Every structure is written in structure tokens, then in C-alpha cells.
Amino acid sequence: LMSTMAAFLNKHFTCANKLSISWISATRSLCQSASEVLFHESNGKLLVTLNRPTALNALNINMAKMMFEKLKKTNTDNSIKMVILKGAGNRAFCAGGDIRGFHVLIFLLTALALSIKNNDGLVEEFFREEYKLNYLIGKFRVPFVSLIDGIVMGGGVGLSVHGTFRVATERTVFAMPETAIGLFPDVGGSFFLPRLKNKLGFYLGLTGARLSGEDVFEAGIATHYVHSKWMPELQFELINAKEINSRSIKTILDSYHRKSITSDREFCLNFCLPKIEKLFSVATVEELFHKLKEDGSQWATECLETMKKMSPTSLKITLRQLKAGMGLEFRECFQMEYRISQRCVKEHDLTEGIRAALLDKDKTPKWIPGTLEEVTEEDIDKYFKVLPAERELYLP
């Protein structure tokens, strides 16, 4: 083990050291990178811009803290009637949480035999701040409009999908790809995914499948679809609207939606929605694999081959998480996810998944356990257990 760590540190020392220093600095000072999130108030509206276009507006802990503090104050400010959230540039709304630097830091702390207590503090802060922000957006006092023009994955989904209105464009690419890195579809995934039609959320959460453009609207993830060429005009109209409430905002969004949407276009998954509903209504992942193999169609075979590459543990966590989320309230979903997250970061698969996907980029993670059969229900139980009272996530 130590020789493996030494080899890893030797190979990645320069990159990892820079990432670690950068992440620590970000968590210790909210003033250092204030330009990563821009806030502009005008006519009783707050425009929030994720401003890391070269990093695809990936969300780091500094940004999450700044947004939470600003939105918390805004939520009690009666002069603000609407919040608009967008990403800088034309490539991404938010490509997810900036987990690469964070997890390299955790790996280094462990490799250097630093206190596990320190590790816990960093881990808790990362997920706690993100989930607090997601929950606040979902419970916001005034209409919350997300202009999802570009990539929206993982942490970016958590910033947008819980808001009042979500506007997709032809450049929108949606995915929850966490099972491929030894994690699970968090940021409220246990609430919104199982509530999508035809078990579509189970399919998206387990396979990490992507949706783009109008299909993000057709799936029920976005509330509207507007062509990107209309987005500047739409933003201007929202900012300058005199009457602001959910009904008036919907009227504005509906008008742009009508002139953008393709009336005779079919949802890309229409042909297999009945199969998705049938095949993904299962009690276990093993049963799902068996049904997909038994189906034998090209689509089912592709689903099966995709999931065979995922962490077996993550797949089993995800299925149980989504099934549980169907019966939980919004707050309870985040509390469950927080418990799972605190266990995942201590296990092999997340470190290995990050290594294979983001560091070495060899795309060949070696999961432990390596098969579904080796992952018992008792193994999964521990991810869902209540944390000690002082470590639980408490939400208003």
C-alpha cells in the first residue's frame, strides 16, 4: 500500500500539491476569489453568475459558501422579487462540483498519515456547504430561474433542478455520472430522479446517460426550452419586467419556449420508455442486469455494458437511495445523501474512480469489491446509518 501511495505521490506530486494548496486557500478565505461568483441587483432582481468559464463553471466550496450567504440574505430581503442563475461563457452552466482538487487533497492527507479527524472536517465541510445551498434554492421564497445554457452535470444539477424555473437550450447537456467514479447521484438526486416519469430517473441515475437540448425539457428536468440565440433577450426582459411573480415569469418564459420548441419532435427515449419503466422497476441490481440480458435488444445490451463498468457498490447504493427517496421529503433526501457521502469518501471506490477518470485518465478503475455478488445488503446498510448527532446535517 505504501509503495502504491509513494508511486502515486511521485507521479502526481506537482499537480496534487498545487491543487491541495489551492483548495485549502479557497476554504479559508471567501474574499480571495470573489470573482468566481458575480452578483448584480437590478430592478428588484438578483442576477447570479457562475464565473469560472475556463473550468466549465465547476462549483468549488468557496463559490458554494458565497452563494449560500448571499442567497440566505436575499431570502429575507423583501426588495428582491426574483433570482436568476446563469453560467459565464457559452460552454457550460455548471459542469459539476470541483471535486478533483478536493479528492487529491483527501488522498494526500491519508497518504501522509495525517489525522483522520482533519480529513473528516474537510469532507464534512465540502458536502455540507453544497447540500445547504441546494436545499436553500429548493425552498427559496421568490421565483428562482436557472438559465441552463450548456453543460449541467452533478453539482450543477443541484444548483438548478430544485429551482422554480429551469430553462434549457440546444447547448444543454445533462447527466448524473456519479456511479462511474464510485459515488452516487447526490445533490438532491434522491428527490428529483425517482419523481421523473416512467422510471426515467432510475435509468439516468444508474447508467449516467446523457440528455441534451429539447430532451432535457421532454424528460421533465427543465421547465422550458429556449434557443440560445434568444437567451440575451430573455434575460433582459426578465431583468426589466415590472410585474414579477411566478405567473408573470411563466408567461415570459412560455412565449420564448413556444418560438423555440420543435412541435413535431419526439423525445429521444420515447421508443424505449416502456422498457425503461419495466426493466428499471426492480428490487435489486442483479435483477436489473438479468432483465437487461434477457431483453437482448441493442439498447438493453448497451445499458448493461455501460453499468458493468460502474462501481458495483455505487450501483447498489444508488438503487436503494432512489427507492428510498420516493417516500422521503425534500429535507430528508439531503440528510440521507449526506450520510451516504460521509461513508463513500472513506472507501476505496471513490478514490479509485477519481484516479481513473480525472487523474491518470486510464478509464480502467479497479473496484473493490469487483462484482455485484460480492456486495452484500449488509455492506450497503452501513452507508445509510444515522451519523453521530454532532455530525448530522441539520436543515431548517
- What's the CA gap between 372 and 377, in Å, rounded? 10
Do residues 348 and 379 touch, judged by C-beta distance below 8 A? Answer: no
For domain 272-396, the CATH architecture is Alpha-Beta Complex (3.90)
- What's the CA gap between 70 and 18, in Å, rounded? 29
pLDDT band at 99 (very low <50, low <70, confident <90, very high): low
Tens-digit pLDDT profile for residues 214-243: 999 999 999 999 999 999 999 999 999 999
- Secondary structure of residue 41 in the 3-state scheme: strand
For residue 318, how many C-alpha atoms fall within 13 Å in the half-sphere facing its CB?
33
pLDDT band at 359 (very low <50, low <70, confident <90, very high): confident
pTM of the predicted model, to two decimals? 0.89
- Alpha helix stretches (DSSP H) within the chain: 2-28, 61-74, 99-111, 116-138, 155-160, 189-192, 200-207, 214-218, 231-240, 246-258, 273-279, 285-295, 298-308, 312-325, 330-344, 348-354, 377-384
Domain ranges of the chain: 1-175+220-266, 272-396
Stretch among 103-112, 207-216, 217-226 having the lowest mean pLDDT: 103-112
Stretch among 78-87, 179-188, 350-359 having the lowest mean pLDDT: 350-359
pLDDT given for residue 344 in this prediction: 95
- What's the CA gap between 107 and 122, in Å, rounded? 12
Give Cα separations from 286 to 61, 107, 371, 396 (angstroms). 36, 31, 10, 38
pLDDT given for residue 105 in this prediction: 54
Give Cα separations from 208 to 88, 106, 310, 381 (angstroms). 25, 25, 9, 23
Catalytic residue among 87, 96, 97, 158: 97
Is residue 89 over pLDDT 50? yes
- What's the CA gap between 155 and 146, in Å, rounded? 14
pLDDT given for residue 244 in this prediction: 95
Is residue 341 over pLDDT 90? yes
Tens-digit pLDDT profile for residues 48-58: 999 999 999 99
- CB-based contacts of 103, cutoff 8 Å, min separation 6: 345, 350, 351, 354
Cis before 369 (ω within 30) = yes
Is residue 12 over pLDDT 90? no
Catalytic residue among 36, 130, 149, 186: 186
Q: Any catalytic annotation for residue 89?
A: no
Same-fold call for 1-175+220-266 versus 272-396: yes
pLDDT given for residue 125 in this prediction: 87
Mode of pairing for the β-strands spanning 144-148 and 45-50: unpaired
Cell numbers 445523501 correspond to 337
Q: Any catalytic annotation for residue 186?
A: yes
Tens-digit pLDDT profile for residues 271-320: 999 999 999 999 999 999 999 999 999 999 999 999 999 999 999 999 99
Residue 270 CB-density burial (10 A; 0-12 exposed, 13-18 middle, 19+ buried): exposed
pLDDT given for residue 98 in this prediction: 79
- Better pLDDT: 8 or 380: 380
Which triple of cell numbers denotes residue 3?
Answer: 509503495
Which triple of cell numbers denotes residue 365?
Answer: 478503475
Which candidate, 317, 376, 362, 373, places its Cα nearest to that of 342? 317
pLDDT band at 358 (very low <50, low <70, confident <90, very high): confident
Q: Any catalytic annotation for residue 121?
A: no
- Better pLDDT: 361 or 211: 211
Fold of 1-175+220-266: 2-enoyl-CoA Hydratase; Chain A, domain 1 (3.90.226)
Which triple of cell numbers denotes residue 164?
Answer: 422554480
Q: Any catalytic annotation for residue 178?
A: yes
pLDDT given for residue 28 in this prediction: 40
Average pLDDT of the segment spanning 331-352: 96
Average pLDDT of the segment spanning 114-119: 45
Length of the chain: 396
Do residues 335 and 395 touch, judged by C-beta distance below 8 A? Answer: yes
Catalytic residue among 36, 178, 215, 352: 178
